């Protein structure tokens, strides 16, 4: 069982591009990328903005849940006519990441032999994912992005774009992200990966065509662990405290309200995501390091020529504020910004008014040399 989009399902707003990506680990991967667009590309192709989603996001950044899209747009408050990323002025492109499960090639997708890739799907890095996205940019006729923006895992890809393709990125917005995954972030990922692989329904990663198969329980545990790190201690304490879930008594096997909250998010994810993709993408985040093979992170950040805003969240315990400050310090002329919020790491999805101001800072003053 999987929550992945699969061939034959309603397409929704998805469009597709195909290519072959050389992998950092060797060999090549034939791929399809699903993507969605809003707005109109101008004749000079100079008004395109690339928006990169986070770990369990997808290409559906705007719009309601509808046929082909089980969840509403995750950045609805930021993208659209008259909004911070104004689709009356800009052409917005949102791809589903390579290794994902909502139309792009990943573990649930058909291998060339017709069966799901499953355990045969190769490890892909953030650099590989950006390489696949350059194929999309070329197919759309976009030689240079007016801006590339993303948060968390999406921020990793946005940053990699600016490092690996500096001539193709005019402006850069990196939210709640980092130049390289830290030991703490890798440590939080480890029990999530173990939970999925320890589920009897994992079948070594080859569960997609097994009747009744699928590591839903393991994926749910992974989501519970992750979601707790996405929110702040202060928010959880204020919102739930030690309250019991309605009608339940923890002294008699019932749940606290915060446990019910985590259970809810675990169930939602299993209905819209694939465990194999969760593993592949988590491992791509673990191996994220813009300095690999480039003389270290400082040298890599020195390649960036884009006007840059690097913003962190003051209550983020997963991607702490100092990591965003380090990005700004390492990129010539970059602006460092703080998103003040009680919501922790997830604030880059929630605080649309504050993020909108950062977007306007980046887009409305294209000739400004930004300074700290």
Q: CA 7 to CA 9: how far, in whole Å?
A: 6
pLDDT of 301: 98
CB 132 within 8 A of CB 19: yes
Q: What is the pLDDT of residue 1?
A: 74
Domains of the chain (ranges, CATH numbers): 15-182+287-363 (3.40.50.1820), 185-284 (1.10.1740.110)
**Residue 212: what pLDDT?**
83
Per-residue pLDDT of 5-23, as tens digits, reads 998 999 999 999 999 999 9
Question: Looking at 316, 324, 341, 346, which residue is catalytic?
Answer: 316
- Tell me whether residue 314 is one of the annotated catalytic residues: no
Residue 372 is predicted with a pLDDT of 33
Half-sphere exposure of 134 (CA within 13 A, CB side): 17
Q: In angstroms, rounded to a whole number, what is the distance separating the alpha carbons of residues 320 and 285?
A: 16
**182 carries an active-site annotation:** no
pLDDT at 175: 98
pLDDT of residue 51: 98
- Residue 367's pLDDT is 41
What pLDDT, on a 0 to 100 scale, did the predictor assign at position 366? Answer: 52
Catalytic: 9?
no
Instruction: Answer positive or negative: Cα dihedral of 265, 14, 212, 120.
Output: negative
Strands 28-38 and 91-95: antiparallel
The catalytically annotated residue of 284, 345, 346, 347 is 345
Looking at the DSSP bridge assignments, the partners of residue 51 are: 149
Annotated catalytic residue, options 59, 104, 109, 152: 152
Residues of the chain with pLDDT under 50: 367-372
């Amino acid at each position: 069982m999987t929550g992945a989009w699969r061939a034959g399902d309603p397409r929704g707003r998805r469009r597709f591009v195909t290519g072959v990506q050389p992998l950092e680990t060797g060999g090549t991967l034939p791929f399809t990328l699903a993507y969605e667009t809003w707005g109109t590309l101008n004749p000079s192709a100079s008004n395109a903005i690339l928006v990169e989603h986070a770990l369990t996001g997808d290409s559906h950044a705007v719009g309601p849940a509808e046929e082909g899209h089980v969840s509403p747009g995750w950045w609805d408050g930021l993208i659209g006519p008259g909004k911070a990323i104004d689709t009356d002025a800009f052409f917005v492109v949102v791809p589903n990441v390579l290794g994902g499960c909502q139309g792009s090639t990943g573990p649930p997708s058909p291998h060339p032999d017709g069966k799901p890739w499953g355990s045969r799907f190769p490890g892909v890095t953030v650099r590989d994912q950006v390489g696949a996205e350059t194929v999309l940019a070329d197919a759309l006729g976009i030689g240079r992005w007016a801006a590339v923006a993303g948060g968390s895992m999406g921020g990793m890809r946005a940053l990699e774009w600016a490092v690996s393709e500096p001539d193709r990125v005019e402006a850069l917005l990196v939210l709640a992200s980092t130049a390289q995954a830290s030991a703490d972030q890798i440590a939080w990922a480890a029990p999530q990966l173990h939970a999925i692989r320890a589920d009897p329904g994992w079948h070594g990663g080859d569960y997609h065509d097994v009747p009744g198969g699928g590591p839903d329980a393991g994926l749910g545990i992974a989501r519970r662990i992750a979601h707790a790190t996405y929110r702040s201690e202060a928010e959880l304490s204020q919102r739930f405290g030690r309250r019991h879930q309605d009608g339940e008594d923890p002294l008699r096997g019932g749940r606290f309200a915060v446990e019910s909250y985590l259970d809810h998010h675990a169930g939602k994810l299993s209905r819209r995501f694939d465990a194999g993709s969760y593993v592949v993408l988590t491992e791509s985040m673990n191996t994220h390091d813009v300095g690999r093979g480039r003389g270290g992170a400082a040298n890599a950040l020195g390649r960036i020529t884009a006007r840059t805003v690097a913003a962190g969240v003051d209550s983020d315990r997963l991607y702490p504020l100092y990591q965003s400050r380090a990005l700004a310090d390492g990129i010539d002329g970059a602006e460092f910004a703080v998103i003040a919020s009680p919501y922790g790491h997830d604030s880059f999805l929630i605080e649309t008014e504050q993020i909108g101001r950062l977007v306007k800072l980046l887009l409305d003053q294209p000739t400004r040399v930004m300074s700290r």
